[in-house]
A and B are shown apart, each in its own frame.
Chain A
Amino acid sequence: DIQMTQSPSSLSASVGDRVTITCRASQSISSYLNWYQQKPGKAPKLLIYAASSLQSGVPSRFSGSGSGTDFTLTISSLQPEDFATYYCQQSYSARAAFGQGTKLEIK
């Protein structure tokens, strides 16, 4: 099975900062990579699909890149509503796998 590894597991940043989260797959998954945002008590929300495509309604400060085994999620200028936990997930296989999550906290 494909394993997904995210880093860092937590991150402290300030409003206006640029932040990057990385995700590595245990084997090549081409561009079959989703990024989710989850806030406390809520279901996850899809931000980015196919590694770099922005889901409808998601602000353009979110962007994704990468292919093969290495991927990144970048938030260009953090806003207060962006403090949440972020997960990558491979959609290459029907046996879906999530990264362990990155908790983004206010510095």
Chain B
Amino acid sequence: DTGVSQNPRHKITKRGQNVTFRCDPISEHNRLYWYRQTLGQGPEFLTYFQNEAQLEKSRLLSDRFSAERPKGSFSTLEIQRTEQGDSAMYLCASSLDSATNEKLFFGSGTQLSVL
């Protein structure tokens, strides 16, 4: 069990550029979540996948945000035309589908700084 892996750990970009983050979940986990966290706040839910299906995306912050999980394994989160307000920690979590005993395992996140 290598845990949830997120890359890169840090990303610095200029306003207006596109950025993409990658999340590799724990290998047998079929559920995958993305969160955003700003300083002093709890993680903010963005989107959720079950296998390759994106079952919840109403919380994505704007149409500049999109996520994919093409083969039901790794996932990517893309932010187009970045703004300074997008600066935050982006967290990924994965879990096994278990109705009553689900435990989310989080990665260490990607810290985005938009200059």
Q: Do A and B come from one complex?
A: no
